[in-house]
């Protein structure tokens, strides 16, 4: 019984549901009910109407047949009979986070020939198709875009391109991503729409209030130019329409420590020279003007648009440039080599030179204004100045002058180059002469001379060593006899002391004797004075007598010589003397004639007699010799 009741109830319920469904279907057709889901949008197409759309129009605004501008929102809609209306339920447009949606309008006003993209109009982000058309929206690619979110779009009027549908629309999916600029980079922007760039310029000027190119309509309304832009994008994420602009990321300009950056700007305000009247080698301008900026950039990362300006890095530390077969890390001296010079004596030889320079930070813009770059400074200024100086100055000196007076040549070069570089706003710190490579023939001669000199020194050292060895032997011998030497020295000292004592004793006795002799001498002197006076008187008388006798004898001798001759008279006088003195002649001395006359024999006899006296005893006078003469007395002395 219960089973029969249950089956009957089920059938009744099913019948009611079927009746309601049939009634619903009948009501839908009769009432024109259309139900739109929450994530749907209803696009309505009117099949017929009393008026048709005008030529070139696609969307009906006043009930004409065709696609209607108004869409159906989620919910129940009535009186949309299927026989008159066709309703298409389209999914809402979803733009995910991190993406953008581009819009193409299928209807609207034509885009002017001077434009590429349709201008933006107020239409609630393309959700109000009627407002778009009424406000003069233009067909084609829209300058406006959809950011992340959900939109109810009339797909009959608008085609929305998202990353999911980019491939089917001829675009790259990544172009529909939010554009991100890396932290260490800048974005250089090139716009694809706008007014032409002013003739003579290479980039469009900075336009204010367009939110970094995210509000493209504001950029165009303010007169923005198409093409390269002065303004850059810094690090961050930006909603950019890829149909409106393209962005190229470049690294930030890094100014290393020990450098400054001199900016050469190709755009900006008109150039106004601020270098001063004393600088006539170019113009310097303020920051933001076209030209070389007078203020350099200091170390750090600088967000610069490298497509419209150039930065020359200038080292502010000391720079070493080598004229040799080596280069520094900066490579400014890659093209430099050893300097070939010719000396006064006609030899050619190579010089290695190192030049140290310094460019001050505030002088860097002047250097760039004058020469253009650091490489130009080396190639067009330093290389000629340094090379020509050494080529010219070397002709005043010989090769040996460079070898022996290198420091002096270096000082002269440093002074000259320092003055020459001062005119270029460059400080010459120092000039250094490195290797000097003289001719091989000259070096051979000098080497031989040096070897000979070293050999001579070696011989001198060996000689000194032998002398030292001899000295060592001598000192060793002296040390061996040191004991005897000490004893001898002590004996000498004792003898000296005894002699000194004896000298002092004798000196005392002599002093006493001198005192005694002084008294005796004084008395003797007085007596002698008296005696001498008496003697003088006697002598004067005797002298007169002797003088008279002598004169008489002399007169007699003169007469005898004149009468007999000198020889005969002399013999006569000798015989007289022998007779007077009783000299024995014959027994002791035998005198023979010498063949020269009688006189010669007498002389020899006399000589023999004198020899006999010498052989006898000095104390005993020989027989027949003369007695010694008595001592002279005061009475017999003649006056002097």
pLDDT band of residue 626 (cuts 50, 70, 90) is very low
pLDDT at 627 over 50: no
Q: What is the mean pLDDT of residues 543-572?
A: 76
Encoding tokens for residue 107?
């209807």
Which of 313, 211, 322 lies closest to 264, judged by CA?
313
* Contact residues for 631 (Cβ-Cβ < 8 A; gap 6+): none
pLDDT at 120 over 70: yes
pLDDT digits (tens, 9 = 90+) for 133-180: 999 999 999 999 999 999 999 999 999 999 999 988 889 999 999 999
Distance CA 627, CA 187 (A): 156
Residue keyed to tokens 């990362």: 301
Q: What is the CA radius of gyration of the chain?
A: 73
Measured at the CA of 329, the angle between CA 324 and CA 331, to 5 degrees, comes to 65
- The residue ranking higher by pLDDT, 461 or 41, is 41
Distance CA 259, CA 312 (A): 10
pLDDT digits (tens, 9 = 90+) for 293-331: 999 999 999 999 999 999 999 999 999 999 988 888 889
pLDDT at 597 over 70: no
Mean pLDDT of the chain: 83
Q: What is the pTM of this model?
A: 0.61
Encoding tokens for residue 63?
């009930």
pLDDT at 402: 76
For residues 290 and 271, the answer to whether their CB atoms sit within 8 Å is: yes
Which class for 285: exposed (0-12), middle (13-18), buried (19 or more C-beta within 10 A)?
buried
Highest average pLDDT, of 570-579, 582-591, 596-605, comes from 570-579
CA 42 vs CA 35, 47, 60, 122, 165: distances in Å: 9, 15, 15, 22, 21
């Amino acid at each position: 019984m219960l089973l029969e009741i249950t089956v009957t109830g089920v059938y009744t319920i099913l019948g009611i549901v079927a009746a309601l469904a049939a009634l619903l279907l009948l009501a839908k057709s009769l009432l024109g009910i259309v139900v739109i889901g929450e994530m749907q949008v209803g696009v309505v197409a009117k099949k017929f109407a009393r008026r048709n759309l005008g030529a070139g129009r696609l969307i009906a605004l006043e009930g004409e047949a065709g696609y209607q501008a108004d869409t159906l929102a989620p919910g129940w809609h009535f009186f949309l009979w299927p026989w008159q209306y066709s309703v298409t339920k389209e999914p809402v447009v979803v733009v995910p986070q991190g993406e953008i949606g581009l819009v193409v309008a299928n209807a609207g006003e034509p885009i002017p020939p001077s434009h590429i993209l349709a201008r933006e109009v107020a239409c609630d982000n393309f959700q109000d198709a009627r407002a778009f058309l009424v406000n003069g929206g233009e067909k084609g690619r829209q300058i406006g875009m959809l950011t992340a979110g959900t939109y109810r779009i009339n797909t009959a009027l608008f085609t929305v391109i998202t990353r999911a549908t980019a491939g089917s629309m001829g675009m790259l999916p990544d172009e529909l991503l939010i554009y991100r600029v890396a932290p260490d980079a800048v974005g250089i922007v090139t716009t694809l729409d706008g007014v032409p760039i002013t003739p003579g310029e290479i980039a469009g000027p900075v336009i204010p209030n367009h939110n970094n190119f995210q509000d493209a309509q504001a950029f165009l309304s303010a007169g923005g130019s198409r093409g390269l832009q002065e303004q850059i994008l810094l690090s961050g994420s930006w909603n950019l329409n890829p149909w409106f602009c393209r962005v190229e990321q470049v690294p930030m300009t890094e100014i290393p420590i020990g450098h400054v950056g001199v900016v050469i700007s190709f755009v900006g305000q008109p150039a106004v020279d601020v270098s001063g009247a004393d600088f006539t080698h170019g113009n310097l301008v303020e920051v933001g003007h076209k030209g070389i900026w007078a203020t350099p950039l200091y170390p750090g990362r600088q967000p610069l648009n490298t497509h419209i300006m150039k930065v020359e890095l200038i080292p502010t530390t000391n720079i070493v440039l080598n004229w040799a077969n080596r280069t520094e890390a900066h490579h400014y001296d890659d093209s430099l080599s050893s300097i070939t010079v010719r000396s006064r004596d006609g030899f050619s030889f190579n010089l290695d030179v190192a030049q140290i320079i310094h460019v001050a930070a505030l002088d860097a813009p002047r250097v760039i204004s004058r020469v253009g770059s650091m490489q130009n400074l080396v190639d067009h200024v330093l290389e000629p100045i340094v090379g020509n100086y050494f080529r010219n100055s070397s002709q005043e000196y010989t090769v040996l002058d460079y070898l022996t007076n290198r420091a002096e040549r270096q000082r002269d070069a440093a002074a000259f180059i320092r003055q020459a570089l001062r005119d270029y706003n460059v400080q010459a710190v120092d000039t250094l002469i490195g290797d000097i490579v003289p001719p091989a023939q000259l070096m051979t001669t000098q080497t031989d001379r040096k070897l000979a000199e070293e050999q001579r020194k070696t011989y001198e050292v060996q000689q000194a060593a032998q002398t030292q060895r001899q000295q060592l032997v001598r000192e060793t011998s002296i040390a061996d006899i040191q004991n005897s030497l000490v004893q001898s020295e002590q004996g000498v000292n004792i003898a000296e002391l005894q002699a000194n004592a004896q000298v002092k004793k004798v000196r005392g006795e002599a002093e006493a004797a001198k005192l005694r002799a002084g008294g005796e001498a004084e008395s003797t002197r007085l007596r002698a004075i008296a005696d001498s006076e008496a003697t003088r008187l006697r002598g004067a008388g005797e002298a007169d007598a002797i003088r008279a006798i002598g004169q008489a004898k002399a007169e007699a001798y003169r007469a005898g010589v004149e009468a007999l001759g000198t020889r005969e008279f002399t013999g006569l006088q000798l015989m007289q003397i022998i007779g007077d003195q009783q000299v024995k002649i014959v027994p002791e001395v035998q005198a023979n004639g010498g063949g020269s006359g009688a006189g010669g024999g007498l002389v020899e006899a006399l000589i023999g007699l004198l020899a006999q006296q010498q052989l006898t005893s000095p104390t005993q006078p020989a027989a027949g010799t003369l007695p010694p003469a008595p001592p002279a007395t005061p009475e017999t002395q003649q006056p002097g």
